[in-house]
Amino acid sequence: MTTLTDRQTRQRDELVSRIAQWGRVGVAFSGGVDSAVVARAAREACGDRAVALTAVSPSLASGEWEEAERQAREIGIRHQRVDTTEFTDPNYLRNAPNRCYFCKTELYTRLEALAPQLGIDVLLNGANLDDQGDWRPGMQAAREHAVRSPLVEVGLTKADVRALAQHWGLSAWDKPATPCLSSRIAYGLEVTPERVSRVDQAERYLRDLLQQRELRVRHEPNDLARLELSLDCLPRLLDPGVRQQVSTTLHALGFRFVTLDLDGFRSGSMNAGLPLVELHAVRTPDRAT
């Protein structure tokens, strides 16, 4: 068990006591380290009055639902699958930089509808303090649906969250970020079940081949795959036999071109092509239509 600093200990205690005040809570539970910590705190604070809620749609990477189930059992929290239908929303499929707003609006609307049935008074998400410095249009949807962000409210950074997860013995403490598959599709290129499935299969193949936990296959226009990998992987991938195997496999999945990004893996790199002024100019409606 990792020893927390005095500050982190105070934050842990405040996190649990704050959630306890909210009564019956539902945690938007992806199975990542942030939502795992919120779920663990909710289980301690509320007992059986807490429930973890995992959204399932074509944008969820293979194995993530099963991983969320396993982690919920590890935590001991009640767990509910919630099927979402963002792929029927033209605003989501359009894949503008505010795509995440429409996804989270669909999720929170569905969770609100289920709240009476599941006995939920307050919905919680896993946003942490560091997320406030990133482009997160989904946070607007959270505000519109009165979703609380307890990690933000008690001032927990990503590093604090990982420390607390390790302190609590959660297996997700060092899990890499696993954003939805749609985040791999270049802005302006329509999100489709076929494209996210193609990305999913390509990433699973490369993780198995290279034994790497953290990588991305970015789906660019013209069916181009841009591979973001740890720089340590580059020499192996440039081996003629491996290179040919990767190229052949990704072509078979439907990619016309396969390129290697020499800058390596960068979380959120799709946002790098958007000027800051453009991000702020994207119009997100007060309510989804």
Write the pLDDT tens digit of every residue in 177-223. Answer: 989 999 999 999 999 999 999 999 999 999 999 999 999 999 999 99
Q: How far apart are CA 52 and CA 18, in angstroms?
A: 17
Kindly tell me if the per-residue pLDDT of 276 is higher than 50: no
pLDDT at position 188: 96
Q: How far apart are CA 95 and CA 101, in angstroms?
A: 11
Instruction: Give the C-alpha distances (Å, rounded to integers) separating 54 from 39, 66, 79, 88, 189.
Output: 11, 10, 8, 19, 26
pLDDT at position 275: 52
Kindly tell me if the per-residue pLDDT of 287 is higher than 70: no
124 and 29 co-located in one domain: yes
pLDDT at position 132: 80
48 and 95 co-located in one domain: yes
pLDDT at position 259: 96
130 and 193 co-located in one domain: no
* Residue that terminates a domain, selected from 117, 152, 174: 174
| CATH number (domain holding residue 23) | 3.40.50.620
Question: Residue 130 domain-assigned?
Answer: yes
Q: 205: domain range? A: 181-266
Strands 257-260, 78-83: pairing is: unpaired
Query: Residue 79: in which H helix or E strand, if any?
Result: strand 78-83
Q: What share of the chain has pLDDT > 70, as a percent?
A: 91
Question: Residue 276 domain-assigned?
Answer: no
64 and 31 co-located in one domain: yes
pLDDT band at 289 (very low <50, low <70, confident <90, very high): very low
Q: To the nearest 5 percent, what fractions of the chain are helix, strand and coil?
A: 55, 10, 35
Angle in degrees, 0-180, between the axes of helices 33-46 and 64-75, rounded to the nearest 10: 30
User: What residues contact 277, with CB distance under 8 A and at least 6 apart?
Assistant: none
129 and 245 co-located in one domain: no
Q: For the residues 3-17, what does the mean pLDDT come to?
A: 96
Kindly tell me if the per-residue pLDDT of 12 is higher than 70: yes
Q: How far apart are CA 6 and CA 127, in angstroms?
A: 22
3-state secondary structure of 52: strand
User: Over the chain, what is the mean pLDDT?
Assistant: 92
User: What residues contact 79, with CB distance under 8 A and at least 6 apart?
Assistant: 29, 51, 52, 54, 68, 69, 72, 73
pLDDT at position 267: 73
187 and 168 co-located in one domain: no
* Residue that terminates a domain, selected from 144, 174, 204: 174
Q: For the residues 47-72, what does the mean pLDDT come to?
A: 97
Kindly tell me if the per-residue pLDDT of 286 is higher than 50: no
Q: What is the Rg, in whole angstroms, of the alpha carbon atoms belonging to the chain?
A: 19
96 and 146 co-located in one domain: yes
Question: Residue 45 domain-assigned?
Answer: yes
109 and 242 co-located in one domain: no
Beta bridge partners of 258: 225
Q: How far apart are CA 135 and CA 100, in angstroms?
A: 10
Q: How far apart are CA 40 and CA 27, in angstroms?
A: 10
pLDDT at position 193: 97
* Residue 113: other Cβ atoms inside 10 A: 10
pLDDT band at 278 (very low <50, low <70, confident <90, very high): very low
Sign of CA dihedral 151, 154, 158, 162: negative
Q: For the residues 10-24, what does the mean pLDDT come to?
A: 98
Kindly tell me if the per-residue pLDDT of 285 is higher than 90: no
Q: How far apart are CA 123 and CA 6, in angstroms?
A: 28
234 versus 78: the higher-pLDDT residue is 78
pLDDT at position 272: 64
Q: Are 33 and 168 in contact (CB under 8 A)?
A: no
Question: Residue 283 domain-assigned?
Answer: no
103 and 44 co-located in one domain: yes
Q: For the residues 73-80, what does the mean pLDDT come to?
A: 98
Question: Residue 271 domain-assigned?
Answer: no
* Residue that terminates a domain, selected from 143, 174, 205: 174
Kindly tell me if the per-residue pLDDT of 284 is higher than 90: no
Question: Residue 288 domain-assigned?
Answer: no
Question: Residue 282 domain-assigned?
Answer: no
86 and 152 co-located in one domain: yes
Task: Give the tokens for residue 182.
Answer: 């749609």
Q: For the residues 36-55, what does the mean pLDDT come to?
A: 98
54 and 119 co-located in one domain: yes
Question: Residue 284 domain-assigned?
Answer: no
83 and 166 co-located in one domain: yes
Looking at the structure of the chain, the number of domains it has is 2
Q: Side chain identity at 158, as an amino acid letter?
A: K
Q: What share of the chain has pLDDT > 90, as a percent?
A: 85
